[in-house]
Amino acid sequence: MPRRAKSARTKSSAVGDAPVQSSKFNRMRADSEDTLLFAGLLYAEGRPYELIKERLVELFCPIKLESAQRPWDYSVYYNNELGSPIMRRFVIFDTLIRSETLPDIKLKTNELEQSLSVNGKRQYNIDPGYITLSKLVLATTKNYAHRIHLRGGIYAEVTLLYKGSAYVPNCFTYHDYSDTESIEFFKQGRALIHNAIVSSYCLGG
């Protein structure tokens, strides 16, 4: 079982071996960046959110922030697999991660999706990523012009950039990441990093 660490300023749990040294979150290696783990969830209305929440907490660590559930009607791409109408929710975990662990995290969420599948169809779509003071990065298995291969068939894209006092989209940003409600939610995650509330790492090595 992974060891959990407590912060001096806030009760917080996390996965990893990095010790908590002070009331501020740990500083990463010079070649890493302070990044906050989040996940975007899609599932059919009526599908139990608490089930996927519980499994994600077991897999990673406690959830710090949860967005409101809202309809996701930007595409019919997932309707045949997930069902419809589809709901969207974002969650932000109570931990920092090392940015280089993003492929491991995406592979773990892929495994979780498959473990909850019924008759070969996923019941939940999980898109992990991380938030930094300067950007929001999303992991994906789909290659495209603006995505960089990390390893193991996992790609990363910079979905939002922080400019002025808000995250701003680019020409490739999904609509549900660029609307006002989502951006305000991600700004709350950024504040966790800025205020040094989060204490430790997931998947630390």
* Whether residue 22 has pLDDT greater than 90: no
Q: pLDDT tens across 80-133, in order?
A: 999 999 999 999 999 889 999 999 999 999 999 999 999 999 999 999 999 999
Please give the pLDDT value at position 196.
Answer: 58
| pLDDT > 60? residue 201 | no
Cis status of the peptide bond prior to 48, with omega within 30 of 0: no
Residue 202's pLDDT is 54
The mean predicted confidence, pLDDT, of the chain is: 84
The confidence score (pLDDT) of residue 8 equals: 34
- pLDDT digit string (tens) for 47-77? 999 999 999 999 999 999 999 999 998 888 8
Residue 66's SS3 state is strand
Q: pTM of the full predicted structure?
A: 0.80
Averaged pLDDT, 151-176: 94
What pLDDT, on the 0 to 100 scale, is given for residue 195?
Answer: 78
User: Amino acid identity, residue 185?
Assistant: F
Structure tokens at 197: 């509330």
Q: Is the dihedral of CA 56, 57, 63, 66 positive or negative?
A: positive
16 CA to centre of own chain: 17
